Chain A
């Protein structure tokens, strides 16, 4: 049985800089997979490769057994991969509701002509879109703020909105880029529970990039560690915790002269 997501021997070079080097990762459906590593290790680049913002220089990426390397981001998103961004990329001048509806739009099928002439299918689809988006926002606690501008929300709510938006795509795979960035211990603990709930409720496979070790260790089934674009370890949280190379990458090795 092939994994949900396979990254096979992927290398990405930007001119002379090798950002990712011979990376191999398998993510099984229904799991939570963590990607950790020092800053600049290539974690976000990996997400960008999966979602089609970059094309791999070498290697292949397969989703549900199908190769997606080199496809455009819009198509990859429609195949069932949703993501959030390290620096929140909400549409700040649009409302909360509008932000979610945008992600839902790929499931509406009326044509431009039907839109411009306001034929019946437009009205039906638009109502479906609004109802589904409101329904989605309810468990996120954003139902009262649907008409607020996304840019006006507090930081934590913005992060939640980004996740909600990605889930509107009804994805099988959800990529979260540092969802706990800027949160304190208490907020991170809440987020851990929240992500567990998201996984159950929406039946998604999670892959997350994180620096908060508590979150990663508590939530993830498997962890891949990157450093300088290379996989330096992969395994369960217990295994990773005790791998010397990982400790060295984060904390530096002892100097033996």
Chain B
């Protein structure tokens, strides 16, 4: 009984850390631009496919770390590109236009991938994973790696935000984007960098997800991306810590509800939880209401 719970906890941490990585991308972008980047989930999906392509198409067998870095950089660049081409021109337009554009970009990415790969693909194993057993608990080295990489990236991001100039600029922009340029901060470059990092994390999450649950499909982004978005909202969208918190909460809720209840209830519980949290804390657990001066 206890061991079942402990086993599920490991699964929950794995799923939760992946959700957290994706949620971070949403929160970072919302923090600087107050915009929900609806294309983010599809970038996550591309991360998985990028890893697949790199692993399968290249004649040389690359080590895990190299593939991870390549995936992060490529998806990061794509994220920054989308911002430059589709979002930046709409900075002064009604906010809704930017959101619709994001939706459109996401659809384009998703359906292009779907057209090129109508059926789900299998992610190959990048290395041989061994299973460790302790008492009745099993954990694979793959799981340890996934959780480790995810946590490592989160720690790295935290460092980036709290200890570097970029992080400070990002936080400044999220407070007041109009006076920041007056202080000599190149706002556009910072925003591009934010998208780069956020998308990179999403891409990494995609790769990790594909390794954890080896069947990947083009519609993954819609399914998982929206879930991670909900995680970001639960934690308070715009809050970095909130994204991580929300990711783990959602991962935990999903895994536990599948473990102990009929699996069809999983989504119902997750979304009802979201609604319940929003009714009592409309801005998420760690979120702040926007201040409005009258």
Contact = CB atoms under 8 A, between A and B. Distances in A.
Q: Do chains A and B touch in the complex (CB under 8 A)?
A: yes
Secondary structure of the B contact surface, majority rule: loop
Nearest to A54: B294
A102 interface: no
Contacts of B294: 44, 48, 53, 85
Contacts of A53: 294
A11 to B, nearest CB: 19
A48 B294 CA distance: 8
B97 to A, nearest CB: 15
Nearest to A48: B294
A85 B293 CA distance: 11
Interface in A24-56: 44, 48, 53
A55 to B, nearest CB: 14
Interface in A44-76: 44, 48, 53
Contacts of A48: 294
B231 to A, nearest CB: 29
B292 to A, nearest CB: 10
A114 B294 CA distance: 35
A85 B294 CA distance: 8
Interface string A76-89: 00000000010000
A94 to B, nearest CB: 15
Nearest to A85: B294
A127 B294 CA distance: 33
Interface in A152-180: none
A132 B294 CA distance: 29
A11 B257 CA distance: 50
Interface string B275-294: 00000000000000000001
A242 B116 CA distance: 83
Contacts of A44: 294
B122 to A, nearest CB: 53
B294 to A, nearest CB: 6
A44 B294 CA distance: 8
B40 to A, nearest CB: 31
Contacts of A85: 294
A174 B294 CA distance: 18
Interface string B112-154: 0000000000000000000000000000000000000000000
A202 B294 CA distance: 27
Interface in B237-294: 294
A44 B293 CA distance: 10
A89 to B, nearest CB: 9
A48 B293 CA distance: 11
A123 to B, nearest CB: 33
A73 to B, nearest CB: 10
A53 B294 CA distance: 9
Nearest to A51: B294
Interface of A: 44, 48, 53, 85
Rank and list the top 4 A-B pairs by shortest CB-CB distance, nearest first: A48-B294, A53-B294, A44-B294, A85-B294
4 contacts: A44-B294, A48-B294, A53-B294, A85-B294
